[in-house]
């Protein structure tokens, strides 16, 4: 979810999802993916929240999108959360991360390389224009032609070349198009529920900047008002006839300066859904909320990122320092002290919540607490070049990160004898802007939640040499080759072996230092019901009902 889906307001539980079982498309036959029980394709033209009707919206904690709301630009949690409400994709994900058809009538193949996509008839954008094959072909070509940050997601298509349209996309008729990949990939459809693959209407191409501020919707909600750094308001889209039917009259995303402020609003009945219980309330929130508090594992991992060109962290010196810092951190101690034991120490760069994960990847000992070895490695780095401190970790105060950052810095002071300190920014957007511009020369908080249930999604977008989300500027041809080979594997076990081999490269180089796997501690008010913390960045808010 994602990146990044790097925000703290991320809750994507995804347990036991298989690489193949999660995507129920057919080979040869064109069989529709099953819609989750209880979902129906019912027109919402009479739904509460239609134009001009006053409603009491479901309110939830959100954050400020970093960019304009275009599928090819949004690559972080705050923007993804908005686009997930205002866009439909070919497929959608249920609470367990399994796919079902949203705009797609069928997605079929005979060889896992050449795919045929048929779109359901009668689908329209909120302005009444049709959702058809051109809506997808033009949208996907735009991302690559304009070299937008999410172009990496189309790199596997035949003839991919940044700055040019995709020759692997072909229109068959108004509701059918074909996709040719550069190699067979059995799990390709699994990613099609991610917002980067959303369609765009013709009006978007007339003024992309204006559209990115006030997008025309293909999803269950329309964006009605965006008060930057304060709130985003949504009304029910009366044109939406898909399976994610709104069960409420509208939504409102509210942005808070601290998790404590949001939590106090939740307790007071002024906020309906909170996805980030503050550290100060972890002991008592379930009792405070009278059974409306939830703790779950999610498909995510939190790391400390360090650019490969950061001062004192290049070459062999950098490799030694990264390993020393990793081994100087007592992850279980921080988890018990700060997070009340609600998280799991990281053993790799992916997550136990996706299929193929394994414990004990060779090289993972670098993620174990070993202060003696850490001091030894740091001393070796000092012989190459003297460290010019302090060691800083950039983080956003709005996300409630200060406690764990302070704890990590204290451990580095005690175990390495270096000056270490947090580097606070007011909000998530401020941190991401500096990272995206390549101006972040300190370490930084890097949180990743899966866009779709696959080990590849933890590895390719973040560390692939050609990925624009590769904030660490990591370049490793062997790693890239292993990822490509894993994608082409017909057997999930074979793919898992190759992903493990790819992770051996990461564990040696440490472009980021994984700390712990993600978990959600969230809650909801007594004014709402049917709140389930599912796979998405936020709960499936379309299903939340006001009492």
Q: What is the 3-state secondary structure (H, E, C) of 144-163?
A: HHCCCHHHHHHCCECCCCCC
How far is Cα 150 from Cα 171, in angstroms, rounded to an integer?
A: 22
Q: State the pLDDT at residue 9.
A: 34
How far is Cα 196 from Cα 5, in angstroms, rounded to an integer?
A: 13
H-run or E-run covering 412? helix 402-416
Q: State the pLDDT at residue 96.
A: 81
Instruction: Copy the structure tokens of residue 5.
Output: 């889906």
How far is Cα 346 from Cα 458, in angstroms, rounded to an integer?
A: 13
SS3 430: helix
Evaluated on CA atoms 54, 59, 6, 182, the torsion sign reads negative
Give 258: exposed, middle or buried? Use CB within 10 Å, 0-12, 13-18, 19+. middle
Q: Are 62 and 9 in contact (CB under 8 A)?
A: yes
Residue 269's CB is within 10 A of a number of other CB atoms, namely: 10
H-run or E-run covering 143? helix 133-145
H-run or E-run covering 371? helix 371-384
Q: State the pLDDT at residue 537.
A: 60
**C-alpha dihedral, 407 to 411 to 412 to 416, nearest 10°:** 170
How far is Cα 45 from Cα 455, in angstroms, rounded to an integer?
A: 40
| Rg of the chain over all Cα atoms, to the nearest angstrom | 23
Q: Are 177 and 171 in contact (CB under 8 A)?
A: yes
Q: Determine how β-strand 420-425 pairs with β-strand 250-255.
A: unpaired
H-run or E-run covering 296? strand 293-305
Evaluated on CA atoms 3, 156, 487, 491, the torsion sign reads positive
Q: State the pLDDT at residue 183.
A: 93
pLDDT tens for the 547 residues of the chain, in order: 343 433 333 333 333 333 223 333 433 333 333 333 333 333 333 344 444 445 799 999 999 999 999 999 998 889 999 999 999 999 999 888 889 999 999 999 999 999 999 999 999 999 999 999 999 999 999 999 999 999 999 999 999 999 999 999 999 999 999 999 999 998 899 999 999 999 999 999 999 999 999 999 999 999 999 999 999 999 999 999 999 999 999 999 999 998 999 999 999 999 999 988 998 999 999 999 999 999 888 889 999 999 999 999 999 999 999 999 999 999 999 999 999 999 999 999 999 988 899 999 999 999 999 999 999 999 999 999 999 989 999 999 877 799 999 999 999 999 999 999 999 998 888 898 999 888 898 999 999 988 888 899 999 999 999 888 899 999 999 999 999 999 988 888 999 999 999 999 999 999 999 999 988 899 999 999 999 987 666 789 999 999 9
The full set of domain ranges for the chain reads 298-520
**Which residue in this structure is represented by tokens 């040019």?**
164
How far is Cα 486 from Cα 460, in angstroms, rounded to an integer?
A: 11
| CA-to-CA dists, residue 322 to 443, 458, 514, angstroms | 10, 20, 11
Per CATH, the homologous superfamily of domain 298-520 is Dipeptide-binding Protein; Domain 3 (3.10.105.10)
Furthest CA-CA distance within the chain: 72
SS3 11: coil
**DSSP bridge partners of 98:** none
Q: Are 437 and 122 in contact (CB under 8 A)?
A: no
Q: State the pLDDT at residue 536.
A: 61
Residue 5's CB is within 10 A of a number of other CB atoms, namely: 27
| CA-to-CA dists, residue 172 to 34, 119, 177, 179, angstroms | 25, 11, 5, 11
Q: State the pLDDT at residue 67.
A: 95
How far is Cα 55 from Cα 184, in angstroms, rounded to an integer?
A: 49
Q: Determine how β-strand 273-274 pairs with β-strand 420-425.
A: unpaired
């Amino acid at each position: 979810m994602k990146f990044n889906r790097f925000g703290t307001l991320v809750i994507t539980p995804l347990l036991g999802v298989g690489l193949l079982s999660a995507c129920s498309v057919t080979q040869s036959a064109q069989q529709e993916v099953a819609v989750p029980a209880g979902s129906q394709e019912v027109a919402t033209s009479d739904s509460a929240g239609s134009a001009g009707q006053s409603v009491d919206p479901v309110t939830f904690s959100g954050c400020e999108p970093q960019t304009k709301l275009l599928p090819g630009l949004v690559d972080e949690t705050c923007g993804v959360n908005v686009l997930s409400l205002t866009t439909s994709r070919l497929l959608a994900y249920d609470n367990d991360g399994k796919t079902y058809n949203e705009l797609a009538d069928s997605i079929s193949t005979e060889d896992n390389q050449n795919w045929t996509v048929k779109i359901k008839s009668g689908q329209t954008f909120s302005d009444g224009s049709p959702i058809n094959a051109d809506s997808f072909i033009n949208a996907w070509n735009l991302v690559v032609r304009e070299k937008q940050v999410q172009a990496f997601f189309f790199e596997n298509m035949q003839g991919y070349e940044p700055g040019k349209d995709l020759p692997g996309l072909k229109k068959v008729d108004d509701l059918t198009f074909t996709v040719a990949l550069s190699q067979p990939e059995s799990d390709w459809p699994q990613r099609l529920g991610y917002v980067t693959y959303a369609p765009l209407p013709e009006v978007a191409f007339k003024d992309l900047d204006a559209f990115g501020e006030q997008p025309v919707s293909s999803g269950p909600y329309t964006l009605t008002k965006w008060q930057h750094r304060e709130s985003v308001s949504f009304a029910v889209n009366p044109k939406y006839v898909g399976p994610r039917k709104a069960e409420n009259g509208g939504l409102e995303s509210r942005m808070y300066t601290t998790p404590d402020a949001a939590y106090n609003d939740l307790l007071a009945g002024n906020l309906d859904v909170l996805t980030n219980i503050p550290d100060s309330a972890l002991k008592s929130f379930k009792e405070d909320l009278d059974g409306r508090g939830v703790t779950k594992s999610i498909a995510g991992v939190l790391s400390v990122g360090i650019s490969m060109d950061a001062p004192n962290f290049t070459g062999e010196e950098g490799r030694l320092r990264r390993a020393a810092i990793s081994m100087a951190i007592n992850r279980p101690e921080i988890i018990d002290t700060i997070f009340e034991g609600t998280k799991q120490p990281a053993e790799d760069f992916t997550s136990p919540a996706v299929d193929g994960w394994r414990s004990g990847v060779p090289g993972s000992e670098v993620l174990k607490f070993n202060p003696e070895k850490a001091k030894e490695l740091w001393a070796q780095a000092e012989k190459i070049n003297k460290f010019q401190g302090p060691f800083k970790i950039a983080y956003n105060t709005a996300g409630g990160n200060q406690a764990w950052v302070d704890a990590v810095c204290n451990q580095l002071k005690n175990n390495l004898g270096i000056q270490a300190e947090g580097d606070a920014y007011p909000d998530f957007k401020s941190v991401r802007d500096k990272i995206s511009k390549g101006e972040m020369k300190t370490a930084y908080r890097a949180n990743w939640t899966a866009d779709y249930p696959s080990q590849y999604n933890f590895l390719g977008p973040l560390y692939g040499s050609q990925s624009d989300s590769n904030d660490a500027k990591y370049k490793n041809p062997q790693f890239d080759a292993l990822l490509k080979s894993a994608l082409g594997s017909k057997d999930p076990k074979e793919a898992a072996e190759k992903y493990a081999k790819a992770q051996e490269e990461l564990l040696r180089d440490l472009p980021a230092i994984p700390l712990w796997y993600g978990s959600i501690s969230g809650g909801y008010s007594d004014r709402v019901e049917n709140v389930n913390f599912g796979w998405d960045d936020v709960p499936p808010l379309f299903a939340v009902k006001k009492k």
